[in-house]
Chain A
Amino acid sequence: MSDYQCDPTKWVEMKQPVDGGREHYQAKSWNPPKEKWGPFTQSGPAPVWFAEANATNWTESMICKAKDLFYESKLNECFDKGDEVAIKIHYGEWNRTSILRPEYIAAIVEEVKACGGHPYVVNDTTLSYHTYNNMAIGSYQSEGATRHGYTEQTFGCPVLIADGFSGEDDYRVDLPEGNILKETYIGRAIAEADSMIVLAHARGHAITMYGGILKQLGIGCQSKRGKYITHLAHWGDPHDAIGFPKFTDACPGKACKFHKMCDDSCPREAHKVTEHGKQWSPEKCRLCYSCQVTCMFSGMTGITFEEAYFPNAMIAHADAALGALKCFEKGKVGFINHAIDVSPECDCFPWAGLSICPDVGIYAGKDLVAVEMATLDGIDAAPVTPGSVAEEKGVKPGDDKFRLVNGFSPRITMAAAEAIGAGTMEYEQVNYEPLLTPDTAGKWQIRPNGIPTTIRLRDTFKKHDLATEVMPFRRTEYNKEWVENEWKKFDPFKGEAPE
């Protein structure tokens, strides 16, 4: 940076807080919370079911264990027959490789259908986040979802954008109990569902340090304006850089090779490059992160975040998550965290860093905060992946991994959520291990406990024995010496290379 000339940012100061006429708007948009909404756990620790990663037989497949946990944790009781059941997932950014594999989602959709529910998979649009975002426009996000394998064919149910073509199809939810937020906005495909099963990919997050099921509610269920309010847009003085990006006066202007991308990054044209810096109009900004993330992704430091922003945003996320919960009656929302491919950053990143730990397993339950706490503790207890950013930062097993990797402890969010009644940080983990029996082996197969594939093939082979008709197969003469010893020539460690 020393080679650059950086002029101080030229501020176009705000004259007064922005007023877009919300009093008029508020009168026509309103969705009261469900009368019977409330935290699932009344007292004491909440049960959380856990199935570890790894498998050695049919029943231990992670897919089979996910289905077992669905019933063990009684998520099948989150909905009644005939209910419209929203399956909330994250569709993932374009070119993101570390996402929840479609098979985990299909597995739960299958069981919701088997129990008489009408599932549909949803995600809301996002804010722009960076210059080449894939998820802010409904049709782009659909293309990205298809590219990730999130389609009607793979899931066997509709795949929707929850907040409409543009991200404006939402309901307002009042949050008098919120730590910071007093209202939020939830996509209508979620707000109008009878119940919801949240399937989260547990991994890191650049803003909230960690993202799992609570993040799926606190940002994932929020419509565009729900995301703006949760980002804390226009909270406080622009110079405090809490409700606004932080312009550091370290922008070299046109000398930065990314300056065109930087100018393009704002969907509201709130900033523009000058010869040796930036001009910045906070009044136009709504805090979508596009300029900050584009600058940081480019390895520059001209536009960034104020350090105190992060914990405040984490607490706001907990408030917003409560907004999503309030759209459902008590016990109508179930949660599954998949601590698999635990990458350091969010699925909204257009790449994936090496996982910070080996796959841990799957956590399920009905208490939002308890499931999150169990997941965090499980990830923290896991070894550190060699070559990952966690290893680079000297993280050891047992450390608060996401605090050391991303900056703050994700337990801030959990404490904030507990404080407003979104769940309890106390949990009791039930470790689930499937028993291998003939019944359990066949339970989750393609034709569950039906006629085995091998028996089906008997009939096929009776009609047309494709192997027998070309026998004997043409091969070298069988030679016992070759079978027992000659093959070793191909073993680079024990034999000699074949001549």
Chain B
Amino acid sequence: MSNVVWVDLEGMSFDNSVEQKLIRLLAKSDATGTLEEGMKVTLKVNTAEAGYEYGLRPSVVKIMAQGVYNKTKKIPVVCDGHKPVDYWKQSKGNTLLKVASARGYTSDTLGGKFVINGGYSGDESDLFSCGTRSTLGGVEIGTAICRSDAMWVVSHVTLHPLFGISGALLNSGFECLSGRAKTRILNGTSPYLFNGHSPSPKEIEAFMENAIECHIGVNNALEGRIFYINLLWDVTPQPEYYPYSDKPIMENMGFLASSDPVAIDSATLSIIETNNKYFDGTRTDFNHVIKRAENLGIGSSKQRLLRLS
């Protein structure tokens, strides 16, 4: 059983603003517990595609970056990689930075050095094993992540057409790969379920299985020094790599933190299932993702949920 801290959005006041809640979340979850002065820490975030307008506010990431800096005394790196398949067919580093910048994601606003995971091409990477039980064998992980001492996975929680939910498990696995590795894992499956694209259940199942295994490779690369923060804020039906989004499926529910990706995603799923008003699920049963991740030993779905307001 793993600990998950949930700071909801109740009881807002001058001394309990969103910023203060986030700072409290980091303190109560002992987010910096494994960090030491001088460590190189990378924050993995989601930068939205051109057309997606529900991206996380940069100020939220900045609070995380400040939390890291306070402990390590080093400016963290903030990164994201190229989109799995660039909808606008502009998948080059300069375009990624331009789109991110237009959404306010710059080194100034984020409080950390904003870089592309895997460099300009997205392919600068090292190969890491996904373990002996893996069907993938290994995956190539972008250098901004695999060459850091520790990582915080700051996930803007959304639904995901292939994985069910884009949260800790997806962002600490598939989303950390080089562009080439992402393409290999997708294996021709379109991640855009509109304009007539409709992957078969078999294709979705294959992607899901492989994407879960990716986490093991990332965890090996960072020797387990990963912390997870799920932000249930503007939980849209489409993930950030989409070139548009419908309105959020529920009210903002706050922020979760844990050192266990399965526990935090399991708690996230419960909150979504209880509170969503507009959406009747995705094509992927995220409960199955949770069970599969648990079976692979990635974490525990049973969690001790500490709810704070």
Contact = CB atoms under 8 A, between A and B. Distances in A.
A160 interface: yes
B interface majority secondary structure: mixed
Contact of B144 (A118, A152, A165): A165
Contacts of B115: 138-139, 142, 161, 165
Given A152-B106, A188-B119, A165 B143 contact: yes
A84 B77 CA distance: 26
Contacts of A142: 107, 113, 115
A143 B93 CA distance: 18
A359 interface: no
B106 A160 contact: no
B94 A164 contact: no
Residue of A160, A162, A163 with highest tally of chain B CB at under 10 A: A160
B77 A164 contact: no
B62 interface: no
Interface in B87-143: 92-94, 97-98, 101, 106-108, 113, 115-121, 123-124, 142-143
Given A84-B94, A138-B115, A192-B92, A164 B101 contact: no
A160 B119 CA distance: 9
A302 interface: no
Contacts of A146: 107
Contacts of A165: 115-119, 124, 142-144, 147
A161 B120 contact: yes
Given A138-B115, A139-B115, A142-B115, A168 B93 contact: no
A139 B117 contact: no
A169 B125 CA distance: 9
Contact of A169 (B77, B97, B107, B118): B118
A169 B106 contact: no
| Chain A interface residue bracket vs B | 20 to 34
Given A139-B115, A142-B107, A165-B147, A192 B101 contact: no
A340 B120 CA distance: 31
Residue of A84, A118, A164 with highest tally of chain B CB at under 10 A: A164
A interface majority secondary structure: mixed
Contacts of A158: 93-94, 97-98, 101
B75 interface: yes
Interface string A47-71: 0000000000000000000000000
B107 A164 contact: no
Interface in A144-190: 146, 152-153, 157-166, 168-169, 187-189
A164 B106 contact: no
Interface in B38-76: 75
Interface string B138-179: 000011100100000000000000000000000000000000
A169 B98 CA distance: 20
Contacts of A139: 77, 113, 115, 144
Contacts of B117: 165
Given A146-B107, A164-B143, A188 B101 contact: no
A120 interface: yes
A192 B179 CA distance: 16
A365 to B, nearest CB: 26
A159 B107 CA distance: 11
A169 B123 contact: yes
A140 to B, nearest CB: 9
Nearest to B120: A189
A390 to B, nearest CB: 38
B121 A143 contact: no
20 contacts: A118-B94, A143-B113, A152-B101, A158-B94, A158-B101, A161-B115, A162-B120, A164-B119, A164-B121, A165-B116, A165-B117, A165-B124, A165-B144, A165-B147, A169-B118, A169-B124, A187-B120, A189-B94, A192-B92, A192-B121
Closest 3 CB pairs of A and B: A164-B119, A169-B119, A164-B124
Given A152-B97, A188-B119, 10 more contacts: A118-B94, A120-B94, A120-B97, A143-B113, A157-B98, A160-B94, A166-B119, A169-B118, A169-B124, A189-B92
Interface of B: 75, 77, 92-94, 97-98, 101, 106-108, 113, 115-121, 123-124, 142-144, 147
